[in-house]
Structure 1
Amino acid sequence: MRDALDERLAARLAGLRVQQGWSLDDLAARTGVSRSTLSRLERGEISPTASLLGKLCSAYGWTMSRLLAGVESAPPAVVRAQEQAIWHDDASGFTRRVVSPPHAGLRGEMIEAVLEPGADIAYDGPGVPGLEQHVWILGGTLQLTDGGTTHELHAGDCLRFRLWGATRFRNTGTEPVRYAVVMVLP
């Protein structure tokens, strides 16, 4: 019986080759691995050695970590409240709960944030240019500046944008503002 990880790895390797538009002969020429071995590997008939994976990763320009992360076990469907990481910055009055943490097999994540009255947080630029964000105000009023445009957001409002430059999150009100941010990798 084939191991589930080996099955996912076989499918991933076959998918990578197809994405590149390479035949088995093309991949064999790039890696020095025989066509028959590559075919058996992609069908899940054999498990790859570390050396073989190293050759394939070199051909695709990937690290082994990146390749294996894409085939690890599926993320849990439910992230229990007690398992969600919470970080609080006393200096800025910002609290961040990771509601749906990142996972190698998923492109999105979700956080819940609370900004205390007077909190003002500026970010010089994105960690991931082009990151898609959806900011949904759950309570209070948030002043969010993205790319030089300032938006006044109230409970129920949702601002959608791609993150390319500096942003600023401000609570100019007298009550905390609570909001959710959904982030999707480009």
Structure 2
Amino acid sequence: MEQVDDRTGELDRAIGAQVRALRSARGLTLEALADKAGVSRAMLSRIERGESNPTAQLLGRVCAGLDVTLSALFAETERAASPLSRRADQSVWRDPGSGYVRRVVTPPNCGSAADIVDVEFPPGASVTMESSRNPAMDQQIVLLSGRMDITAGDTTHRLEAGDGLYTPLGQPVSFHNPGTKAAHYLVVVAPGGPRY
């Protein structure tokens, strides 16, 4: 399993600052965002102050309320722009709920329309992500090793190593590792729409 660096508190503060900035930019009060996201005002306030280590599921709800993807939220917390993303410098975050580890592969602030995230998902773990209400974003998942059950809408897909899955955002997506070993996959989030 990927080692998470000692920057958890720093990353939590950066996430909180980004949530606050996005909320302000949208003209939302703390109460309005809490209502849209379906989270308590107190929890949202703790997140914005960097006093909480929120789960992926909770951050997914906040992102849905802000109409941004989780990848976009994390991308905004990255360091200065660079065309190169060295593994040693990539942001790594562990979901305190499921234990899954996400590593942002896309170079920080490079201007790419796509975000690439490397995920290691523990055996037996599950998480459901509320998705951005913006259906103009797509995600593609490529399972590198292990097995995953991914439910998008009403359909569950069993992925084996080498399989790829396309899911438009705008609906909850559930991830479950039914195996006895960690699963390893890449998620690519990009603007949706027809490809020519």
**TM-score range relative to shorter protein:** 0.5 to 0.7
Q: Does 1:142 align with 2:115?
A: no
Q: TM-score, normalised by structure 1?
A: 0.56
Match of 1:151 in 2: 157
What do the CA deviations read for 1:97-118 (whole angstroms, capped 9, x no partner)?
A: 0011563732111000011011
Whole-angstrom CA distance in 2 between matches of 1:114 and 1:104: 24
- Report the TM-score, using the length of structure 2 for normalisation: 0.53
Structure-1 residue corresponding to 2:100: 94
Q: 2:182 aligns with which of 165, 172, 176?
A: 176
Letter in 2 for 1:185: P
Show structure 2 runs of 5+ residues with no match. 1-79
| Aligned 8 A contact 2:82 2:110 in 1 | no
Aligned to 2:129: 123
Q: Counterparts of 1:101 and 1:167 in 2: how far apart (Å)?
A: 25
- Letter of the 1:132 partner, please give it: D
**Offset at 1:132?**
1.1
Alpha-carbon distance, 1:123 to partner:
1.5
Aligned sequence identity (%):
35
Asked if the contact 2:83/2:110 (under 8 Å) is kept, the reply is no
Higher strand share: 1
Between 1:165-174 and 1:76-85, the stretch displaced more is 76-85
When the two structures are aligned, how many residues end up with a matched partner? 113
Deviations 1:114-162 (A, max 9, x none): 1101110002332643311110001000100111111000100000121
Inter-partner Cα distance in structure 1 for 2:107 and 2:170 = 22
Tell me the amino acid that sits aligned with residue 174 of structure 1: T
Query: Counterpart of 2:119?
Result: 113
Where 2:88 maps in the other structure, the secondary structure is helix
- C-alpha distance in 1, partners of 2:104/2:97? 20
Alpha-carbon distance in 1 for matches of 2:167, 2:84: 27
